[in-house]
Structure 1
């Protein structure tokens, strides 16, 4: 047994893939201005009481999106160069590039991109703050 517990690479890769596949949407959510939140309106008509504060929900969703986007950017800044570019072209640029397009950009074979992407996703999971994407065996 090593110094650190063994991680389940498949589950870590899946966790990283799940977070990164949401990155564009979360980025748009984080970029939304808080001034877009509307003030409540009163029309004088009785309504059933609602315990949900919609403005609070919007603010919490915005802050959560900002935090995840910041965490993704922090993790990306730590991973290796090849992993960075494969993940960047796969998840961060609009539109996402195909394996063929990525291979041409970084001068690797198309077959290597699948390996590099999996390696990059594992590095990303390890670099994500507080080990939130890591799954141990």
Structure 2
């Protein structure tokens, strides 16, 4: 039998860092300035080896896929963990811990316990291997 020794602290950190980027990713996907139509001019442009339009398109697609992964992962979590993470990271208004506790009907100590559990559960359920860190 295989026993994988997960580094829970580092895995929770990875999940936290990803979820902290949620609104930035959302902005990249919804930003109308991320992709522009080409403009034409008769003046010659200097040759450039990097294609910024292509890079923006790739960045937008990667952001969209990451947002989809986040949504799918949250749907797999237990109800309390999913709600806690949504309120903590995905809420448009930055809610305080006390507001989240009031919303969920829990104490701050229970919040901290569930948040640790929720972040680890998120890292384990995330479709990509980027979040789960194993001990060496």
Asked if TM exceeds 0.5, the reply is: yes
Which of 75, 79, 82 is residue 81 of structure 1 equivalent to? 79
In structure 2, C-alpha distance between the alignment counterparts of 1:31 and 1:127, rounded to whole Å: 26
CA change 1:50–1:36 in 2 (3 A) is closer
Matches for 1:11-26 after TM superposition, within 5 Å: 11-26=10-25
Q: CA offsets per residue over residues 79-121 of structure 1, 9 Å max, x none?
A: 1111111100110011121110011011101221111111111
**CA contact under 8 A between 1:86 and 1:102: conserved in structure 2?**
yes
Q: CA offsets per residue over residues 8-48 of structure 1, 9 Å max, x none?
A: 0001000000100001110121223599413043351553x
Larger deviation: 35-44 or 81-90?
Answer: 35-44
Write out the 4+ residue segments of structure 1 that deviate beyond 3 Å after TM superposition: 32-36
In structure 2, C-alpha distance between the alignment counterparts of 1:39 and 1:123, rounded to whole Å: 44
Q: Which residue of 1 aligns with 2:29?
A: 30
Provide structure 1 residue ranges, at least 5 long, that are not aligned to the other structure.
none
TM-score by length of 2: 0.90
CA change 1:35–1:125 in 2 (3 A) is closer
In structure 2, C-alpha distance between the alignment counterparts of 1:125 and 1:53, rounded to whole Å: 34
CA RMSD of aligned residues (A): 1.9
**CA contact under 8 A between 1:15 and 1:133: conserved in structure 2?**
yes
Aligned length: 135
Matches for 1:1-137 after TM superposition, within 5 Å: 3-32=2-31, 36-45=35-44, 47=46, 49-137=47-135
